[in-house]
Amino acid sequence: MTRKLLTTVAAGALFATAFAPAAFSQTAPQPADSAAPTQAAPADPAAPKPPITPDVTKPAGDAAQAPAPAATTDTAEAGYITEQAPDQISANTYIGQSVYNGNNESIGSVNDLIMKKDGGLVAAIVGVGGFLGIGEKNVAVPMDKITVAQNTQDGSVKLTTSETAESLKAAPEFKTLAMQSAEKAPATGTALPTDATSTGSTTAK
């Protein structure tokens, strides 16, 4: 009886010794893996946020765009003429210039120029006859009948025409729009008001 009890105790001790390490390994806490990522604790919304450092290697918004070109002050690029060209003549150069015939004789002088509204000369108004501008007649000579010789150094011109003094004096007079309007206006005479007041002397009574 005693031997059977000892055998049972020995068998129980052997069983406990064999399975105790296995049970311990299942309940023992596992060491943390250093390679595994750690989960950060949720951020406190009341905690101050760290400053954001801009990435200077990347363009930011409008700063990446090229700067707009500066406005140019060159008026020539804007379509304006800044210098008189050798083939251009000022209207003031025409006014007052003598007009010469084929014999290099002055037959009149330019008093005005007629131009189109969209540009281009039509005729030169040449005053002929008279003396010192008195009694002269204005004749519109078409520009295709006038030859212009210009000195490219100083801009002076010499005007020559195939017309003669006699042909210009016989030509019809040129009338401006103002002259035509004045001729069409009815002539109305206005009588001056008469003074009906009379003067007299008074005597004291």
Domain carrying residue 168 = 91-177
> Is residue 124 situated within a structural domain?
yes
> Is residue 60 situated within a structural domain?
no
> Is residue 129 situated within a structural domain?
yes
Express as a percent the part of the chain with pLDDT over 90: 34
> Is residue 6 situated within a structural domain?
no
Query: What tokens does 174 get?
Result: 């040129």
pLDDT at residue 202 in the model: 46
Q: What is the pLDDT averaged over residues 67-82? A: 64
From residue 73, alpha-carbon distances to 54, 67, 68, 70, 83 in Å are 38, 18, 15, 9, 16
Average pLDDT, rounded, for the chain: 72
> Is residue 48 situated within a structural domain?
no
Phi/psi zone of residue 43: left (φ > 0), alpha (ψ -120 to 50 degrees), beta? Answer: beta
Most confident of 22-31, 150-159, 176-185: 176-185
> Is residue 136 situated within a structural domain?
yes
pLDDT at residue 153 in the model: 82
> Is residue 126 situated within a structural domain?
yes
| Domain total of the chain | 1
Residue range 117-162, pLDDT digits in tens: 988 899 999 999 877 667 789 999 999 999 999 887 887 889 999 9
Task: Give the burial class of 42: count Cβ atoms within 10 A of its Cβ; 0-12 exposed, 13-18 middle, 19 or more buried.
Answer: exposed
Q: What is the pLDDT averaged over residues 160-168? A: 93
CATH, residue 124: 2.30.30.240
* 20 pLDDT tier (thresholds 50, 70, 90): very low
Could you tell me the pTM of the whole model? 0.52
Does residue 63 have a pLDDT over 50? no
pLDDT at residue 97 in the model: 93
From residue 13, alpha-carbon distances to 7, 19, 25 in Å are 10, 10, 19
> Is residue 99 situated within a structural domain?
yes
* 56 pLDDT tier (thresholds 50, 70, 90): low
89 Cβ neighbours under 8 A, 6+ residues apart: 148, 150, 155, 157
